[in-house]
Amino acid sequence: MKAAAVIVSAGRGQRFMDGKKKQFHLLARKPILGHTLDKFETCPLIESILLVVGQEDMDYCMKQIIEKYHYRKISQIVPGGRRRQESVKNGIDALPRDVEVIVIHDGVRPFVTRAMIEESIYSAVRFGAVVVAMPVKDTIKMANPDGTVLRTLERESLYQIQTPQTFRADLIREAYHKASQDGFMGTDDASLVERLGVKVHILPGSYTNIKITTREDLMLAHLFLKMRSLAETGSQDPRGKG
């Protein structure tokens, strides 16, 4: 089984903080993207990593991310498109044809775990298409265009979808080819597979597997890292004290 990861980090939004794009902002003295890449670099099931970034960021990523932190599994950097779906397609198209499983992940989700990645790969081999997700905790209402409530959705059947989203390579290639032919733009990778009539299976993610898009998200990320550090310190203390 040959599994490759496509890490999408080609966001072109407004500068996040300090004049930097969010994926390059420092989190505990390391770029957010670096924290994400660490998880895939150290996962034994991932044979190679393909990084998708903005055209203007390719040189920066090579020097300040790949070379600086000595990533060995990153086989290629490819330029992204105008939208995320185009960026993912660029990444998939650049992968070798002998790749059997493709793991697609957001570059600004640094709290993905090795367990999530590995379970996603094993499950994709079994089912063909899987996503990680968590049950929605808040009440969700559908609204009319005038801002009034249309109806309240059944929370028990709603999930907050995350990445990684993992697929058999032949399946996700077909899904992206079909979407391109039809001019269809989906909200995530799995939605393209769903159009083929293929069932997508849900695996448990984590409420800490956040996508860092706002300053509030960054504050949470710092808190998560601090909590993790305290937990690791406590586990190393033979007296069980933190």
- Cα–Cα distance list, 65 to 35, 52, 237 (Å): 10, 13, 33
Q: Is residue 179 part of a domain?
A: yes
pLDDT at position 81 is: 95
The 3-state DSSP class for residue 42 equals coil
In this predicted structure, the answer to whether residue 242 has a pLDDT above a threshold of 50 is no
Question: What is the tens place of the pLDDT at every residue in 81-121?
Answer: 999 999 999 999 999 999 999 999 999 999 999 999 999 99
DSSP 173-193: HHHHHHHHHHT---SSHHHHH
pLDDT band with cut points at 50, 70 and 90 for residue 20:
confident
Q: Is residue 223 part of a domain?
A: no
* CATH code assigned at 120: 3.90.550.10
In this predicted structure, the answer to whether residue 17 has a pLDDT above a threshold of 70 is no
Q: Is residue 240 part of a domain?
A: no
Distance, CA of 23 to CA of 12 (rounded, Å)? 10
Q: Is residue 238 part of a domain?
A: no
pLDDT at position 14 is: 55
Question: What is the tens place of the pLDDT at every residue in 122-171?
Answer: 999 999 999 999 999 999 999 999 999 999 999 999 999 999 999 999 99
CA 70 distance to own-chain centroid: 21
Q: What is the pTM of this model?
A: 0.93
Q: Is residue 34 part of a domain?
A: yes
Could you give the number of structural domains in the chain?
A: 1
DSSP 44-84: TTEEEEEEEE-GGGHHHHIIIIIIHHT-SSEEEEEE--SSH
Distance, CA of 192 to CA of 190 (rounded, Å)? 5
In this predicted structure, the answer to whether residue 239 has a pLDDT above a threshold of 60 is no
Distance, CA of 242 to CA of 235 (rounded, Å)? 8
The share of the chain scoring above pLDDT 90, in percent, equals 87
Q: Is residue 81 part of a domain?
A: yes
Q: Name the residue range of residue 123's domain.
A: 3-133+160-213
Residues 6+ apart with CB under 8 A from 198: 128, 129, 171, 175
The share of the chain scoring above pLDDT 70, in percent, equals 93
pLDDT at position 232 is: 77
Q: Is residue 86 part of a domain?
A: yes
Q: Is residue 222 part of a domain?
A: no
What is the rounded average pLDDT for all residues in the chain?
93
Query: What is the DSSP secondary structure assignment for residue 20, as one 8-state letter?
Result: B
Pick from 73, 71, 164, 75: which is nearest to 118 by CA? 164
pLDDT band with cut points at 50, 70 and 90 for residue 231:
confident
